[in-house]
Amino acid sequence: MKVYFASVQTETNTFSPLRAGARDFEALAHAPGAHPEKAELYTAALICARRAAANGECMLIEGPCWGAQPAGLIRADVWERMRDAILEDIQARGPFDIILLGLHGAMVAVGEDDCEGDLLSRIRAQCGPDVTIAANLDPHCHLSAAMRDNADLLIAFKEYPHTDSMERGQELWALALATAKGEVRPVMSVVDCAMMTMFFTPMEPTALLVAAFKAAEKEQPILSASLIHGFPWGDVPDFGVKVLVITDNAPERGAQVAAELAERVVALRGKSMERLTPLHKVAARALEPGEDPWVIADFADNPGAGCPGDSTFLIRALMDAGVEDAAAAFIFDPVAVSLAHAAGVGARLSLRVGGKTCSFSGPPLDLEVEVMHLAHNAVHNVFVVAPPLGDVAVVRAKGRFDLVITEQRSQCFAPWGYTDFGIDLSTKKVLIVKSMQHFRAGFSNTSRRFLYADSPGAASMNLADLPYRKINRDYWPFSAAG
Ligand SMILES: [Zn+2]
């Protein structure tokens, strides 16, 4: 059994003005064969295949692994170069029995709304119908007909935060092997739920929905059941929440189970995520005393959803309301980082922070600050991701309001986004995270008080206000009927 693995992934926010270029993909790349032993979010199947190869069960050829911090559109030439490099690698080192891929599913390049469909259809055309093509997907993907028609197996993570990537990689590997051996014949059934929302899977009643998908998989002939959450900030024709059921050659039963699960999904409209707190009400809540610090998500400026990460709306609202003993991470501002590094630890200076990248960023904050901590080439090492932060500066403004400013964009996943840079969390009453939901796994031991701020930004949940041009507007919540 000869197996190939490659990965190319990012999440494209088509409303974000940040372009994803070659440098962005190189920042998180591994050359063929150079992937570390530890699985990353989209490369769990590679680690499974490596173990099988070490046991003599298969011969594994490792291709490139590219990933970029979510941003706006991918440059057309950059996408084509990565796509063609994978195709040429497969051609040069094949033929293969199994082609395993780590994909996101919401990549959009200039001139290409469906990068994954483009890649999968070219691989199928090049390799023919007999090769098993199997990919892990992020649930925040746009599941297209081109993706479904040109893959044998597509399996999305079930949890958001994506804490189950290893299990989904193992499933993909096991099913790909069974398919290539002729033990199963996977057939995919898809139902479009005609809606868009977010699903916070640890909370009820969404957790029950995840349980229903897992229960469906226990029944023969269901091989896999994925909830495709969709990605609200990708303006593409394949936009939407979908149910994907894979059976062992039982398309009628697959369609039936997918329809039953889709009914449960539709019943969760308006109930599947935490309510966002209007910006003008956040400060009053943040001043409520309590044992645990408030952890406040700056929801709409999440770099993990392609946003700039330098918006000032939430921080300004809290500062203006007199909130003290607070900290915010991470604010993307290479200029402020370099000015703070030049001044040195202990220096007091006037510093302009944030509000620089685009109109979603809001006006900058002009602050009198003390430089508290400096770091070079830092990395935010979290479970299955390790985004580089570049140089980092922590500055303290009035009211012991600490800002963790970074040279590179990243969402803040975990408390060590503060503690790694000298901030003592026992002294803080409010922690602001540029994140949407991934922070929830990392901060669950730090606090029981969470708020999701409805701040303006490139990932605003006020979907009706976004300038979509390509989606189906008959879907809920754009149309009440859905
Ligand atoms: Zn995701």
Q: Calculate how far, in angstroms, residue 10's C-alpha sits from the geometric centre of ligand 1.
A: 10
Nearest to 242 by CA among 254, 259, 256: 259
Six-digit token string for 377: 């080439």
pLDDT at residue 482 tops 70:
no
Q: What does pTM read for this prediction? A: 0.94
Phi/psi-derived region of residue 90, left when phi > 0, alpha when psi is between -120 and 50, beta in every other case: alpha
Q: What pLDDT, on a 0 to 100 scale, did the predictor assign at position 383?
A: 75
Q: What pLDDT, on a 0 to 100 scale, did the predictor assign at position 134?
A: 98
Mean pLDDT of the chain: 96
For residue 376, give the amino acid letter. Answer: H
High-pLDDT (> 70) share of the chain, %: 100
Q: Calculate how far, in angstroms, residue 273's C-alpha sits from the geometric centre of ligand 1.
A: 14
Q: Calculate how far, in angstroms, residue 140's C-alpha sits from the geometric centre of ligand 1.
A: 5
What is the Cα–Cα distance from 300 to 437, expressed in whole angstroms? 11
What is the Cα–Cα distance from 51 to 60, expressed in whole angstroms? 10
Q: Calculate how far, in angstroms, residue 164's C-alpha sits from the geometric centre of ligand 1.
A: 12
User: Could you tell me which residues come within 8 angstroms of residue 44 by beta carbon, excluding any fewer than 6 positions away?
Assistant: 102, 136, 165, 166, 168, 169, 170, 172, 384
* DSSP-assigned beta bridge partners for residue 187: 247
Q: Calculate how far, in angstroms, residue 104's C-alpha sits from the geometric centre of ligand 1.
A: 8
What is the Cα–Cα distance from 301 to 308, expressed in whole angstroms? 7
State the pLDDT confidence band at 61, using cuts at 50, 70 and 90: very high
Q: Calculate how far, in angstroms, residue 210's C-alpha sits from the geometric centre of ligand 1.
A: 15
Residues 24-53 pLDDT 10s = 998 879 999 999 999 999 999 999 999 999
Q: Calculate how far, in angstroms, residue 243's C-alpha sits from the geometric centre of ligand 1.
A: 16
State the pLDDT confidence band at 481, using cuts at 50, 70 and 90: low
Q: Calculate how far, in angstroms, residue 353's C-alpha sits from the geometric centre of ligand 1.
A: 28
Residues 381-418 pLDDT 10s = 987 788 999 999 999 999 999 999 999 999 999 999 99
Q: Calculate how far, in angstroms, residue 257's C-alpha sits from the geometric centre of ligand 1.
A: 24
Q: Calculate how far, in angstroms, residue 158's C-alpha sits from the geometric centre of ligand 1.
A: 10
Q: Calculate how far, in angstroms, residue 157's C-alpha sits from the geometric centre of ligand 1.
A: 8
Q: Calculate how far, in angstroms, residue 398's C-alpha sits from the geometric centre of ligand 1.
A: 36
Peptide linkage before 161 cis (omega within 30 of 0)? yes
Q: Largest alpha-carbon pair distance within the chain?
A: 69
What is the Cα–Cα distance from 298 to 229, expressed in whole angstroms? 21
Q: What pLDDT, on a 0 to 100 scale, did the predictor assign at position 443?
A: 95
Nearest to 213 by CA among 173, 168, 148: 168
Q: Calculate how far, in angstroms, residue 339's C-alpha sits from the geometric centre of ligand 1.
A: 34
Q: Calculate how far, in angstroms, residue 143's C-alpha sits from the geometric centre of ligand 1.
A: 13
N- to C-terminal Cα separation, the chain: 46
The helix/strand count (H/E) of the chain reads as 13, 17
Q: Calculate how far, in angstroms, residue 410's C-alpha sits from the geometric centre of ligand 1.
A: 14
Q: Calculate how far, in angstroms, residue 452's C-alpha sits from the geometric centre of ligand 1.
A: 17
Q: Calculate how far, in angstroms, residue 55's C-alpha sits from the geometric centre of ligand 1.
A: 32
Q: Calculate how far, in angstroms, residue 346's C-alpha sits from the geometric centre of ligand 1.
A: 39
Q: What pLDDT, on a 0 to 100 scale, did the predictor assign at position 28?
A: 79
φ/ψ of residue 390, rounded to 5: 70, -150
Q: Calculate how far, in angstroms, residue 142's C-alpha sits from the geometric centre of ligand 1.
A: 11
- Considering only CA atoms, give the Rg of the chain: 23
Is the domain defined by 2-267 classed in CATH 3.40.50.620? Answer: no
Q: Structural domain boundaries of the chain?
A: 2-267, 277-460
pLDDT at residue 435 tops 90:
yes
Q: Calculate how far, in angstroms, residue 250's C-alpha sits from the geometric centre of ligand 1.
A: 29
Q: Calculate how far, in angstroms, residue 181's C-alpha sits from the geometric centre of ligand 1.
A: 31
Q: Calculate how far, in angstroms, residue 40's C-alpha sits from the geometric centre of ligand 1.
A: 13
Residues 135-175 pLDDT 10s = 999 999 999 999 999 999 999 999 999 999 999 999 999 99
Q: Calculate how far, in angstroms, residue 162's C-alpha sits from the geometric centre of ligand 1.
A: 7
Q: Calculate how far, in angstroms, residue 138's C-alpha sits from the geometric centre of ligand 1.
A: 5
Q: Calculate how far, in angstroms, residue 376's C-alpha sits from the geometric centre of ligand 1.
A: 29
The answer to whether the CB of 226 falls within 8 A of the CB of 158 is: yes
Q: Calculate how far, in angstroms, residue 327's C-alpha sits from the geometric centre of ligand 1.
A: 25
Highest mean pLDDT among 272-276, 314-318, 463-467: 314-318
State the pLDDT confidence band at 480, using cuts at 50, 70 and 90: confident
Q: What pLDDT, on a 0 to 100 scale, did the predictor assign at position 236?
A: 98
Q: Calculate how far, in angstroms, residue 384's C-alpha sits from the geometric centre of ligand 1.
A: 13
Q: Calculate how far, in angstroms, residue 8's C-alpha sits from the geometric centre of ligand 1.
A: 14
Q: Calculate how far, in angstroms, residue 106's C-alpha sits from the geometric centre of ligand 1.
A: 9
Q: What is the DSSP letter of 185?
A: -
Q: Calculate how far, in angstroms, residue 103's C-alpha sits from the geometric centre of ligand 1.
A: 11
